Amino acid sequence: MASASLQFFAFILALFGAFGDITATLLPNWKVNADVGSNIITAITQMQGLWMDCTWYSTGMFSCTLKYSVLSLPIYIQAARTTMVLSCILSAFGICITTVGMKCTKLGGDTDSKSHACFAGGVCFILAGISGLVPTSWYTREIISNFLDQTIPESSKHEPGGAVYTGFISAGFLLIAGVIFCTSCFKKQQGARIYPPKQHDFPCTEQESNAGYNLKDYV
């Protein structure tokens, strides 16, 4: 019962992680630059994401430009696009597989099949977490290095946006969920090896008594 509750908790974490992965991939605020200027009325907030760049004015106007050219993008943005999409796909696969293998569901066949499905789903979650953690870390490193570079003007420097933090949190949720699913199945298999099924030894006293009775008949 405790293992089933733990798997359900890990499944909820995986759902939050997958939803956060998709949200972080689509959000345009991976890095933000707030240029207040001399007048607060003309303040501009520039946001850059994986797929579009957006500009928000204090007057309420909002405009976005899609990034159509892939080859013109920096290598870290291209890598972030690929790995974040891969993370979303792996997390979706993990949710589908663990739905079949969880103890609280009636899908997946016998116990061994469900254990293997849970382990495979846990591996998918771990790979999804790693795929989401690598681009967010690389992207944050580029932002910090550019921010600390003295040769870059202040107007071109950015800070990490909400999408980066969402990606970090989602990757953590997916990693925790994957570890819980893998360890729960591993503990179960290890327990089955340590405690093998008991073999019932039938007493032979009745047979011995019958043999003694037969010998007495011949005396």
Which H, E and C letters describe 113-127, residue by residue? HHHHHHHHHHHHHHH
Q: Where are the domains of the chain?
A: 4-27+71-194
* Residue 38 confidence (pLDDT): 52
Instruction: With beta carbons less than 8 A apart as the criterion, state whether 57 and 185 touch.
Output: no
The CATH class that applies to domain 4-27+71-194 reads mainly alpha
Q: CA 132, CA 165: separation in Å to the nearest integer?
A: 11
Instruction: With beta carbons less than 8 A apart as the criterion, state whether 168 and 136 touch.
Output: yes
Most confident of 66-70, 132-136, 145-149, 156-160: 132-136
Q: CA 34, CA 45: separation in Å to the nearest integer?
A: 4
**pLDDT tier at 202, thresholds 50, 70, 90:** very low
Sign of dihedral through CA atoms 31, 91, 180, 105? positive
* Residue 34 confidence (pLDDT): 61
Section 119-142 average pLDDT: 94
Percentage of the chain modeled with pLDDT above 90: 44
Q: CA 16, CA 73: separation in Å to the nearest integer?
A: 30
pLDDT higher than threshold 60 for residue 7:
yes
Per-residue pLDDT reduced to its tens digit, 17-33:
999 999 999 999 999 98
More confident residue, 167 or 45: 167
Per-residue pLDDT reduced to its tens digit, 79-113:
999 999 999 999 999 999 988 877 777 776 677 78
